[in-house]
Chain A
Amino acid sequence: SAVISQKPSRDICQRGTSLTIQCQVDSQVTMMFWYRQQPGQSLTLIATANQGSEATYESGFVIDKFPISRPNLTFSTLTVSNMSPEDSSIYLCSVDSGFSNQPQHFGDGTRLSIL
């Protein structure tokens, strides 16, 4: 399975600032996704990172708040913009091979706290 490196692993930020999270995969993958996990909650999909085109956002998430880049088939970034305490969450990237009935694999996540 793909090895996924996510950076930073954790950060503490001031409200109003922005943070960019990186996700690097050791092999080319078709699909990359970004999820949010609020404290004590399950995972919610933020968006699908599309290589060479704009990301596809889920209901409740917008590009201005969570801009995403995917410059190639092994790398993606998620920016959390103009942060508030409500953005304190774990953010996780995942990859999918694109083949039917294959597991989706996750990075170790970025634990973000906003003061």
Chain B
Amino acid sequence: SQQGEEDPQALSIQEGENATMNCSYKTSINNLQWYRQNSGRGLVHLILIRSNEREKHSGRLRVTLDTSKKSSSLLITASRAADTASYFCASDQGGSEKLVFGKGTKLTVNP
């Protein structure tokens, strides 16, 4: 399977700042999911956005989806040190249950 791209690969910000991560994918999708991974542990599901949705919010998280560009973004507002983690997008390849993961963004939030 071909992985999507994410940028930036690494992002370092100060507490209170916003963090934006971008993701691109290659095939048509039914939905795209964002996950967080703390220090090599399991993945925590953050948000699922459907292909007919353009924007979705959950607390301090905002996800956008542009199917014409095959891209998505994750915005974390008012970041905290506890947000330090790697963030991955995963697309479902046209409705298959199989997920194709992006390369991930390693976010560091400095106190």
Contact = CB atoms under 8 A, between A and B. Distances in A.
A93 to B, nearest CB: 9
Interface in B67-111: 88, 90, 95, 97-104
A31 B101 CA distance: 18
Interface residues on A, range: 20 to 34
Contacts of A109: 40-42
Interface string A20-55: 000000000001010000000111110010000000
Contacts, number: 64
A102 B31 CA distance: 9
B50 A101 contact: yes
A102 B48 CA distance: 8
B33 A104 contact: yes
A87 interface: no
A105 B48 CA distance: 12
Contact of B88 (A42, A90, A102, A105): A42
Nearest to B42: A108
A42 B103 CA distance: 5
Interface of A: 1, 6, 31, 33, 41-45, 48, 58-59, 90, 92, 94, 96, 98, 100-109, 111
